Amino acid sequence: MLEFDVAQAQLAQAGNAPTKTEDCPLHQAQGRILAKSLTAHLDMPPADNSAMDGYAIRFADYQPGRGLPVQQRCYAGEQPQPLQAGQCIRIFTGSLIPEGADTVVIQEDATETDNVLLIDQAPKLGEHIRRRGEDVQKDSTLLEAGRRIGAAEIALLASQGYAQVPVYPRLKVGILTTGDELAELGTPLQAAQIYNSNGPMLAALVTGLGADPVHVLHAKDTFESLQQALNTLIADCDLIISVGGVSVGEKDLVKPAIEKAGGELDLWRVRMKPGKPVALARAQGKPIVCLPGNPVSAFAVFALLVSPLVRRMQGREQWLPPIEHAQLDSQPPFNDIRDEFIRVRAQRGDNGHTRLGVFSRQGSGVISSLPWSDGLARIPAGRQFKEGDLVPYYSWASWLV
C-alpha cells in the first residue's frame, strides 16, 4: 500500500498551476486567487491623523490648570489651520493633525467651557496620533501572488485604491457519479436503491474551495453512458472527480471508459482508513481522480488528498494547510495496517488545550458523523494511543477552504 503522505504529495503534483490571468473587479474578487503580487500605491495612513475624538495641542503648552482657547473645530475630511502657540484645535477620529501639533488629548480627559479647554489628565507626548505610513508604506508589498482573496484582503486593497485585481481563472471541476443503485434526488426510491449524496456533496466541497463545479453528472452502469459523461467532462473541465466504479467487478467500467478517452488509470491502495482505494488518471492532459463510492470515504479522501491538488491547480501559494495537534478525549481504535482518520469535534479543555471528542460510531457508512464533526484526527498505524495523547488534527476549517 502507498503511504498516506506519499499519496498526498503525488496527487498534489498531478495537476499544473495556472498560467493565464484575468482582471476581476475588486467587489467580485471574494474567493479568487491573486495572480500577481501587488504593491502599495500610497502610505497608510496618508498623513498623520487622530486616533480619537479630542483636541490637538502642542505638548509644550500643557500646564496643569492652564486653559487653552479652542482655535478651530476641524472634522475628518477638512484641512486644519496651523496650530497657534498656546491654543488647541478640536478634532475628531480621522482628522488630520494640524501643523505644529504633536499630541492629542482625548475628550474624556478634558473639559471644554466657553471655548476654552482645561486638561484634566496629564497627556503624553505624541499620544493618540496615527503616524503617516505606520500601517502600510508606499511601494511595499501588499499581498503576494497565490493569496486567496477574502474580505480582509479586499479591505486592504480598497484602502489603496485598487478597483480591479489580476486573478487566475476559476478552476473548472467536473463531478461524475456512477451506479444504477443511485436514485436522483426528489424521485421515489425503487427497490435496492439509495439517493445519490456524493454528487451534491462533492459540488459543495468544490465550491467551498473557491472552484467552480461546472458539471455534476451521473452515469448509468453502461460503457456508453460513462463514455458520454467523460467526454463532456474532459472537454469542459480542468479537473474531473469521479466516485465509484473503479474496481474489477463486471460493472466497474470507469477504467475502460477512461482508457477509451485516451487516458491510463493507476489504481492506488492508500494506507488510510477510510478511503483506501483511490485512482488517478490523465486524459488529454487533464487529471481524473477516482474516489471510493462510500460518501464518508469520498468526503475524507477529498479533504485530505484532493483539496491540495485543487489548491495547487488554483495557483495558491500554500496548497498544503498546516496540521494542528490536539488531545484525544477517549482511547482511539488500534490499526496495525493503516492510518485511521477518525471523525472528531474540537473543544477547549479546562487546561486550555484543544481536546477532540470522538464520534461514537466510526463506520464508513455513518454519514451523520460528517455534520457533527469539524475535522479528522489521524491515528498512525501500529501505535497505541490513549486518552489525553496529542494527535494530528485536520480541521475542516483549514482543509476545506
Q: What is the pLDDT of residues 379-392, one digit of tens each?
A: 999 999 999 999 99
% of the chain beyond a pLDDT of 70? 98
Separation in Å, CA 337 to CA 152, 271, 294, 394, 399:
44, 7, 20, 20, 25
| Average pLDDT for 77-98 | 97
User: For position 313, what pLDDT does the model report?
Assistant: 98
* Range from 41-45, 63-67, 95-99, 274-278 carrying the lowest mean pLDDT: 274-278
Q: Would you state the pLDDT for residue 256? A: 87
| pLDDT band, residue 180 (cuts 50/70/90) | confident
Alpha helix (H) residue ranges in 322-393: 369-372
Give CA–CA dist 371/343, Å, rounded. Answer: 10
pLDDT digits (tens, 9 = 90+) for 3-56: 999 999 999 999 999 999 999 999 999 999 999 999 999 999 999 999 999 999
On the question of pLDDT at 251 being above 60, the answer is no
State the pLDDT at residue 40.
98
The secondary structure of 283-304 as a DSSP string is ETTEEEEEE-SSHHHHHHHIII
Query: Is 241 part of a structural domain of the chain?
Result: yes
290 and 347 in a common domain: no
Same domain, 293 and 240: yes
Q: Would 319 be classed as within a structural domain?
A: no
pLDDT digit string, tens, across residues 117-155: 999 999 999 999 999 999 999 999 999 999 999 999 999
Q: Which three cell numbers stand for residue 236?
A: 469542459
**Residues 105, 211 share a domain:** no
pLDDT band at 78 (very low <50, low <70, confident <90, very high): very high
d(CA 352, CA 10): 37
285 & 341 share domain:
no
- Boundary of a domain, candidates 246, 280, 314: 314
Domain range holding 150?
Answer: 22-44+140-167
Instruction: Specify the pLDDT at position 247.
Output: 60
**CA neighbours closer than 13 Å in the CB half-sphere of residue 154:** 13
Do both 306 and 330 map to the same domain?
no
Residue 5: partners with Cβ closer than 8 Å, 6 or more residues away: none
Residue that finishes a domain, picked among 258, 279, 314: 314
From residue 361, how far is each of 88, 364, 367, 388 by CA, in Å? 70, 9, 10, 20
Residue 250 has pLDDT above 70, yes or no: no
Instruction: Looking at the structure, tell me whether residues 84 and 208 fall in a common domain.
Output: no
Which range, 97-111, 237-251, 333-347, is most confident?
A: 97-111
**125 and 237 share one domain:** no
* Residue 89 to residue 68: CA distance in whole angstroms: 9
109 occurs within a structural domain? yes
Poorest-pLDDT segment among 31-45, 47-61, 101-115, 237-251: 237-251
Average pLDDT score over the chain? 94
pLDDT at 360: 87
Inform me whether the pLDDT recorded for 351 exceeds 80: no
Please indicate, yes or no, whether residues 287 and 364 belong to a single structural domain of this protein.
no
Band of the pLDDT at 332, cuts 50, 70, 90? Answer: confident
User: Could you tell me if residue 204 is inside a domain?
Assistant: yes
Q: Provide φ and ψ at 90, rounded to 5°.
A: -70, 125
Residue 74 belongs to a domain: yes
Decide the pairing of beta strands 88-91 and 67-74: parallel
Closest C-alpha to 236, from 174, 316, 184: 174
Q: What CATH number should be reported for the domain holding residue 151?
A: 3.90.105.10
The residues near 193 (Cβ < 8 Å, ≥ 6 apart) are 181, 182, 183
Higher-scoring residue by pLDDT: 248, 283 = 283
CA 97 to chain centre: 39
**Exposure pattern of 249-286 as b/e (b: 16+ CB <10 Å)?**
eeeebbbebbeebebebeebebbbbbbbbbbbbbbeeb
| CATH code, domain with 376 | 2.40.340.10
Last residue of a domain, one of 295, 314, 333: 314
**Same structural domain, 184 and 72:** no
Query: How many whole angstroms from its chain centre is CA 126?
Result: 39
Is there a single domain that holds both residue 268 and residue 371? no
Tell me the pLDDT tens digit for each residue of 273-291: 999 899 999 999 999 999 9
Give 248's pLDDT tier (boundaries 50, 70, 90). low
SS3 218: strand
| CB-based burial label for 248 (10 Å; 0-12, 13-18, 19+) | exposed
Mean pLDDT, rounded, for 319-337: 91
Do the domain assignments include residue 277?
A: yes
The answer to whether the beta carbons of residues 303 and 375 sit under 8 Å apart is: no
Going from the C-alpha of 248 to that of each of 203, 254, 288, the distances in angstroms are 27, 10, 18
For position 35, what pLDDT does the model report? 98
Res. 305 pLDDT band, cuts 50 70 90: very high
Q: Are 35 and 168 in contact (CB under 8 A)?
A: yes
User: What is the helix (H) or strand (E) element at residue 154, kind and residue range?
Assistant: helix 151-159
| 243 and 191 within one domain | yes
Q: CA-to-CA distance for 332 and 330, rounded, in angstroms?
A: 6
Which is higher by pLDDT, 27 or 186?
27
Strand order in the sheet with 286-291: 212-219, 172-178, 239-243, 286-291, 277-283, 264-269
- Residues 191, 299 within the same domain: yes
**What is the reported pLDDT for 249?**
53
Distance CA 283, CA 261 (A): 7
What integer pLDDT is reported at residue 244 of this predicted model?
A: 82
Radius of gyration of the chain measured on its C-alpha atoms: 30
What pLDDT digit, counting tens, does each position of 201-237 carry? 999 999 999 999 999 999 988 999 999 999 999 999 9
Beta carbons of 281 and 265 less than 8 angstroms apart = yes
Please tell me the predicted confidence (pLDDT) of residue 190: 86
**Residue 157 scores a pLDDT above 90:** yes
Q: How many domains does the chain have?
A: 4
Considering only CA atoms, which of 271, 393, 394 is closest in space to residue 329?
A: 393
pLDDT at 169: 98
pLDDT mean over 319-334: 92
Residue 243: is its pLDDT beyond 70? Answer: yes
Q: Does residue 154 fall inside a structural domain?
A: yes
